[in-house]
Chain A
Amino acid sequence: MTRRPIRWLGPGSYLVFLVWVLFLIALLPDERIVPLLIAVLAFGLLNGGQGLSPLRKVRFWTLILSIVAISPWILGEADLTWGWLRLSRAGFEMGLWMALRAVCLSLAFSVSAGALSTSEIIRLFEGVGLKGLGFSLGVALNLLSTLGGTIEAAYHTIRLRGGFRRPCLALRLFLVTVIANALRYGDDVVRAASARGFDPAVQRRETSLFRRADGVFALGLLGLTGVLLLWPW
């Protein structure tokens, strides 16, 4: 059984963190990416470490290491001969920084998005006045499995009737059928919502985007921004 870590921060702080990382990645010179990466790792660990799961994936490391491995060949002037290979030290260095930026951004995204559950995202939308969008997200999530069935049924019906002998016509028919069926299902959802007197404009009371801890966190990020940007490293 996995233990869910205690959450000190509200959902808004995770989005603030992501925007903060994006902002600094665009602004910081190469050598200051390392402290930013340390900050991202620390935040990930403080949040239980689930957001750092990409670090355990072979696919993630394949992508990152391929950046480092390929860059001496394709970037910079070749100044090193190693057997029949002509490599560039500057290219290798550039590749290394590129890989660090990629790790930093991927982890920040994974930590922030991974920390938010669907219901929290819905509440977050409600909190910023986009109540209907939260409702839409809930409907869309429940619709995905139904859509799978609709798409499969439309595909097999057209195939069994020999529709794919004329591929363009079949594709058009397929799309019209899938969209029309999805809209029909949507109409059922509207009827059900209306029958229950559902109104997405009604806001839940417990919605609170920012708590005191979020304010302290935001101040911390601001201070760290000053250190990363202005400190004479």
Chain B
Amino acid sequence: MVKEKATGLAGYTVRDWVYVAVFGALWGAAELTLGSYLHVIFPPLADTFVIGLIMAGLGGIIVLVGRQFVPRVGAAFMMGIITALLKTLSLGGIKIGPIVAILAESLLIEVALLLARRPARWNFVLAGSLAVSWNFFHKFIMMRLLFGKGIETVYVKMVKDGSNVLHVDVRYGLLIIVLLFLVRIAVGALAGWLAWDLGGAVRRRLSQET
């Protein structure tokens, strides 16, 4: 067994930093390949809902599995920082939207796991839900920041888009908004649940070989 030195940030070892790099790179690779591919497949109007939801769910799974292997405060956010920096290498150029989303999601996972203290399946479910729910608020914040648009404009647009996706009449605006939010919560919860299982499976695979 390699002897490791405890370093910097709350006693991180070299192994911890390397694992942060591994999971950051995994999420970064997913963003650079699958993320770019999905942007080509789906029309721009569906970006935040379809692509954002898929990538947020996948990112949530990777970071939560990573957090099982680096059970230290700040690890999830560090993975997010690495992913965000790798995302700046994207062939499509530097885009602020996905970078803000990556950082916000990893920060929300970090906060949820920090509050929960002990790693457990339901804490992962909560962290996943919280992280993917960012996808809902992302549009409001980015529209305000990028375009100076008010909350009402985004709301109206979201209702219209949601009405098309969910096949619900525009008159039920509030229902559409609640449904759109619940879809994100559900996807995040599923990501957290799967991440817990996946982390266990990876651990078993690695222990079988040693």
Q: Chain A's nearest CB lies how many Å from the CB of B180?
A: 19
Q: Which of A67, A110, A121 contacts B94 (CB 8 A)?
A: A110
- Interface segment, A40-48, A175-183, A208-216, A218-226? A175-183
Residue pair A132, B7 in contact (C-beta under 8 Å):
yes
Q: Which of A59, A99, A121, A180 contacts B206 (CB 8 A)?
A: A180
Classify chain A: how many residues form its interface, as a range.
Answer: 35 or more
Residue pair A201, B5 in contact (C-beta under 8 Å):
yes
Q: Chain B's nearest CB lies how many Å from the CB of A223?
A: 24
Q: Knowing A105-B145, A109-B96, A190-B14, say if A180 contacts B205 (CB, 8 Å).
A: yes
Whether A97 is near chain B, meaning CB under 8 Å from some CB there, is: yes
Residue pair A132, B12 in contact (C-beta under 8 Å):
yes
Q: Which of A105, A106, A140, A199 contacts B7 (CB 8 A)?
A: A199
Q: Chain B's nearest CB lies how many Å from the CB of A107?
A: 10
Q: Knowing A110-B93, A136-B17, A137-B21, say if A75 contacts B198 (CB, 8 Å).
A: no
Would you give the 0/1 interface string for A97-135, flagging 1 where the beta carbon is closer than 8 Å to chain B? 111011001100110011000000100000001111101
Q: Is the interface of B mostly helix, strand, loop or mixed?
A: helix
Whether B19 is near chain A, meaning CB under 8 Å from some CB there, is: yes
Interface size of B by CB at 8 A reads 50
Q: Chain B's nearest CB lies how many Å from the CB of A141?
A: 7
Residue pair B145, A22 in contact (C-beta under 8 Å):
yes
Residue pair B82, A101 in contact (C-beta under 8 Å):
no
Q: Chain B's nearest CB lies how many Å from the CB of A58?
A: 12
Q: Knowing A176-B205, A183-B202, say if A132 contacts B9 (CB, 8 Å).
A: yes
CA distance A233 to B151 in the complex (A): 27
Contacts of A175 in B (CB 8 A): 61, 198
Contacts of A198 in B (CB 8 A): 14
Contacts of A176 in B (CB 8 A): 198, 201-202, 205
Contacts of A102 in B (CB 8 A): 146-147
Whether B49 is near chain A, meaning CB under 8 Å from some CB there, is: no
Whether B112 is near chain A, meaning CB under 8 Å from some CB there, is: no
Whether B36 is near chain A, meaning CB under 8 Å from some CB there, is: no
Q: Closest A-chain residue to B149, C-beta based?
A: A98
Q: Closest B-chain residue to A57, C-beta based?
A: B93
A-B contact pairs, 19 of them (CB 8 A): A25-B145, A67-B147, A98-B147, A101-B146, A101-B148, A105-B145, A129-B8, A133-B82, A143-B21, A143-B22, A147-B26, A179-B202, A184-B206, A189-B21, A194-B4, A194-B5, A198-B14, A200-B8, A201-B7
Listed from nearest, the 7 A-B pairs whose CB atoms lie closest are: A98-B147, A139-B21, A140-B25, A136-B21, A140-B21, A143-B25, A132-B17
